[in-house]
Amino acid sequence: MMEGLYFSEPRLLGLIPLILILGLASLRKGRNRLLVLSRTAIFCLLVVALANPYVTVTETTSARRPIITVVSDLTASMEIFDQGAAERVQAGLPDSTIRSFSGTATPLGDKVLQYAQQGGALLLVTDGYSNRGRDLEEALALARSANTTVFALEMAPIREDRSVEISGTNTAVLGGEYPFTVVVRSSGGEFDGHLTVRADGAVIYQNRIAGDGRSASIKISHRFPTTGTHILEASISFPTDAIPENDRYQKAVYVVPKPEVLLVAEGESPLSRVLSDHYRLTVSPTFRAEELGAGEKRFKAVVLDDQRYGPELSGLKDYVREGGGLVVVGGRSSFDFGEYRNSSLEEILPVKSVPSIFEGGKTTVLIMDISGSTRREMSVGGATFLDYEKALAIELLKAPEFRDDRVALVVFGTEAFVVFTPTPIVGKEIMIQDRISSLSPQPGAQEETQLNVGLALAWDLLNASSSEGEVIVISDGRIREYPEVFSESARMIQEMGATVHLVEVKAFEGAAGGFRDLAAESGAEYHPALYPGSVTIRAGEMPEEGEVPEVEEVPASGYALMIANQNHYITSDLALAANATGFNDVTPKPGGQRLVVMLDGKPILTSWRYGLGRVAALTTDDGTAWAPEVYSAPSSRLVSRMVNWAIGDPRPEAWRVDAEDGWAGTPLQLTITSPSPPRIEGVEAERVGENRYSAVITPEEEGIYAVGDYGIAVNYPLEYRFVGYNPDFPRLIMSTGGMVFTEEEVARSLVEEARKRSEITVQERVSRRLPLLFLALAIFLGEVIARRLGEVRR
């Protein structure tokens, strides 16, 4: 392909007008016209040639036999795989070489970049876990930009292996509940073994552990009786286990005294009783800023219990900005009842004291079948399949679980299209019902149904919404007669990354449909809906066949509370079963995180950060009138977690070490807060801020390392953490244009795929100077010959 004309020295073209002016002046003086014209043309051509005109030519070539490099991972974690696979596949690939690496670390991203070459191909024979060096996803993208295609060999372990790890915070409060999780990972298939957990050498948990997946998690809680460093240890034992190094894991937990908390309250309440169990609590009927102390804070957090706004509360602004924690609990004298609106206190709160109308939350995409087959009657003289679908959809969106959602509607038949994009349900109920009720079947009954196109539209809507998503498909289930649509729909459901419910409407029990098979193939949730049964369907609790679901009603004792965000420290893995008979009506500010809400989306617990501090707003009361259930087990954990989060790090600020658990052979980052440079044997600490120092150590052996009285647990090398074949590895390979082959497919297909992908595109400059020089020479010779012939004739 050839692009436009360019010049290397375009400034020389400015001589052409001067040459033309001189030529014109010579003609006016009556000189030899032929000589003047020829010399003018020659000089113009020479100037253009000196400016070096060129064009850019783009050429694309592909190699008949591309260079293939087999990268063989022989690191320690690969012992459970067939280590002769790389040599076998390389022997069957012409013009290929093999490169191996070993050790107790897998720098897979570095190896991809090391062996990548333009127009070539890499075949990675590895478990797909990279634990050192360049990020693998970044390395694959860079290799692709260098026109290197990366393929991978699909591998299955031939030996069994398991690993264990403890997940939890590195600090705990004396006598308080310390929750942690033990994660057991398996290389695949069923596993059945034994787990033992010890705290400072004493067994606190011992049980059988079994499953049929890649991992299992056990949640455990413990209370430490003394301050200082304590050691948790988890060990596993299985009848068959190829690598024993990762069967034991230690975690160092630094236990600190109960932090000081100030509660500003009029008297005793369920809130004060919960706080006194977990903290060194000081109760004061009024707030005085001087009680907060200066420098090293006396109180780690302040809790305001139903306090009306007063000028003295403005002192909390500096306290929070400098790192203090604040929890504001509602009631009849606070928030919208306590003159918080536009006050200095409201400035640091994550909510405004004005009534809220919540719009947003999970995005639910409703996909409805309007193909010709849905005009069939479900009984003689009765409703059609589409009538029943519409009744199901309308009743479904009335369920309390959907009040917080935005809903979109997609329909499919012989074509698929979006009826309306994600719209908040609250306030739009009539519009949504009208749009659903107005649907009519598309013409034709035998045309291919476009469920796969409807799923693709739903996928686009979920991606554009950038929020948690759910898809509900309502159809008569007639899909098995279209094999291509069936297989494509199953693939899309598997890759969608959202919960997909397949609701199949049936005229009678036992009616044949294809959604049960599609659910089994794709992993979606299958729910039959038998006419004319109840049409109330709750997300996550769809009725089984023949079961008539019950509609959940709000208890007369109050409003049910629900968790809106499971990914926050306060609400993760929290069991909340509580009602509230009253609340303060507030609106979250931009940046405020709604953690607990009522069924209509109104916030009950909202949090955010202000400066260096943390602020939580609990917009129901202290349990004396509105919300006693919140302060009773197990829901009372919400209160302690809320205050723990506001406190942040409960350790003293004068001397503090921050470090995660380490891995043998992997650099470990330490951050020390100290008024003077810390002394760490064999390591030089670097000052990174006021009273802050940083150091990096690389522990070579497992064990407990101490920095002062702070312990750091170092466990088995990171190479042994994840076991088996990385399930995300094929996605990474295919996202950059590669493919994953079985060993049988390599010799048959890889060379051809590598050749297709080995195209090299080169842009070259091609000069157009020579034609101009030849033309100038031709004009000169022609002019000379013409003058000589004229002389001969004369």
Q: Tell me the percentage of the chain whose pLDDT exceeds 90.
A: 38
pLDDT digits (tens, 9 = 90+) for 81-106: 999 999 999 998 888 899 999 999 99
Residue from 375, 400, 787, 442 nearest 601 by CA: 400
Residue 558 has pLDDT above 60, yes or no: yes
Q: Is it the case that residue 543 has pLDDT exceeding 70?
A: no
Convert the pLDDT of each residue in 225-265 to its tens digit: 999 999 999 999 999 899 999 999 999 999 999 999 999 99
What pLDDT is stored for residue 158 in this prediction? 93
Token pair for 661: 């658990």
Least confident of 112-116, 194-198, 532-536: 532-536
Architecture of domain 363-530: 3-Layer(aba) Sandwich (3.40)
Most confident segment among 440-449, 564-573, 600-609: 600-609
Domain ranges of the chain: 2-60+764-793, 68-156+725-758, 162-256, 260-355+591-647, 363-530, 656-712
CATH architecture designation of domain 68-156+725-758: 3-Layer(aba) Sandwich (3.40)
In whole angstroms, what is the distance from residue 315 CA to residue 321 CA? 11
Q: What is the mean pLDDT of the chain?
A: 85
In terms of pTM, does the model score above 0.75?
no
Q: Is the peptide bond before 532 cis (omega within 30 degrees of 0)?
A: yes
More confident residue, 166 or 65: 166
Q: What is the pLDDT, as a whole number, of residue 715? A: 96
Condensed to tens digits (0 to 9), the pLDDT of residues 631-650 reads: 998 888 899 999 999 998 88
Looking at the predicted structure, is the pLDDT value of residue 724 above 50?
Answer: yes
Provide the pLDDT for residue 274.
93
Q: Which fold has domain 162-256?
A: Immunoglobulin-like (2.60.40)
Find the helix or strand (DSSP H, E) in which 610 lies: strand 603-610
With the CA atoms of 345, 348, 352 and 353 taken in that order, what torsion angle do they form, in degrees rounded to the nearest 10? -20
Do β-strands 68-75 and 121-125 pair in parallel, antiparallel, or remain unpaired?
A: parallel
- 761 is written with which tokens? 């595109």
Residue with tokens 């409407």: 505
For 504-530, b/e burial (b = at least 16 CB within 10 A) is bbbbeeeeebbbbebbebbebebbbbb
Of 321-330, 382-391, 572-581, 730-739, the range with the highest mean pLDDT is 321-330
556 pLDDT tier (thresholds 50, 70, 90): very low
Count the residues in the chain.
794
Report for 136-145, 158-167, 688-697, 748-757: range of highest mean pLDDT: 158-167
CATH topology of domain 260-355+591-647: Rossmann fold (3.40.50)
Lowest mean pLDDT among 51-55, 436-440, 656-660: 436-440
Fold agreement (260-355+591-647, 363-530): yes
**In the prediction, which pLDDT does 552 show?**
38
Model confidence band, residue 584 (pLDDT cutoffs 50, 70, 90): very high
CB burial class (10 A; 0-12, 13-18, 19+) of residue 538?
Answer: middle
pLDDT value of residue 109:
94
DSSP-based three-state secondary structure for 578: coil
